[in-house]
Chains A and B, each alone.
With several copies, the nearest count.
Chain A
Amino acid sequence: MAKISVQTGNFDIAAEISRLTAGRTDIGGVGCFVGIVRDDKPRDAPARAIQALTLEHYPAMTLRAVGRIVEEAERRWGLLGCTVIHRVGRMLPGENIVLVLTAASHRQAALDSTAFLIDWLKTKAPFWKREEFPDGEGAWVEAREADDTAASRW
């Protein structure tokens, strides 16, 4: 039932919402989150202004892992529909990166499942971002996660 896509192209939010809701009368709310390539550094640190972002992923793992987490969300919140689209490849500031849509009878389920899925995508899904700077240099984005927590495991 859920639609999961990892794709290079942009997505059409209105079309995706209407794919979930068209012809149905049992949906009371649709929760939605759109992630966008952000560059909020130009003033503080012009040399680190993001010219572009490139997203790499681990295809065999991504689809499996996203599929499993979406099933968990569907079960946990009794979702009536769910769409996860994550873009990969090179994107410019202002472009969409990721879309999460959930449809449910009641608002709380839609809101909570949307937050759950985007949190998971941001912190657990095998995607890696590389930023490009004005001088042509680039750097892999470092995870916020404290390295210490995992350090002890080695």
Chain B
Amino acid sequence: MSDTASMREPLTILYFAWLRERVGVAEEILELPEGVTTVAELVVYLSGLDQRHAAAFKDRKTVRCAVNQEFADPATVLQAGDEVAFFPPVTGG
């Protein structure tokens, strides 16, 4: 992989609702991990960090994701510098 400046910008990970409660923080900053190119791969990576993350991502079918404030799919490709948010299905209004 080429090592450009932009590749070094960290990811911002945001958690909402019960995902935030399980992880224990609302926001994490981390380098795009080696070998992680999609949302699905990021979830696998995060789930392996510790028990709190594992608990947050356990019910994966009720986890939704947005990348840079747009709804995203597990297959969505990540770039360094992205803001990645994880949350349950919305229950507004």
Contacts and interface: CB of A to CB of B under 8 A. Distances in A.
Direct chain A–B contact by Cβ atoms under 8 Å:
yes
Interface of A: 35, 55-58, 60-61, 64-65, 86, 97-98, 107, 118, 121-130, 140-143, 145, 147-148, 150-151, 153-154
Nearest to A152: B61
Contacts of A56: 16-17
Contacts of A150: 61-62, 64, 89
14 contacts: A55-B92, A58-B14, A58-B66, A58-B69, A61-B85, A97-B93, A98-B93, A121-B93, A122-B92, A123-B92, A126-B90, A126-B92, A154-B43, A154-B63
B87 A128 contact: yes
Interface residues of B, number: 25
Contacts of A147: 61-62, 89
Interface string B59-93: 01111101001100110000000010101111111
B73 A153 contact: yes
Given A60-B83, A140-B18, A151-B61, A128 B92 contact: yes
A61 B70 CA distance: 7
B13 interface: no
Contact of B92 (A64, A86, A142, A153): A86
A61 B66 contact: yes
A127 B87 CA distance: 10
A26 B16 CA distance: 28
B42 interface: no
A44 B14 CA distance: 37
B92 A129 contact: yes
Given A130-B17, A150-B64, A121 B69 contact: no
Nearest to B85: A58
A143 B70 CA distance: 19
Interface string B35-70: 000001001000000000000000011111010011
Contact of A128 (B16, B63, B69): B16
Given A147-B61, A153-B74, A154-B74, A60 B92 contact: no
B42 to A, nearest CB: 12
A20 B82 CA distance: 38
Contacts of A121: 92-93
Contacts of B63: 154
Contacts of A140: 17-18, 88, 91
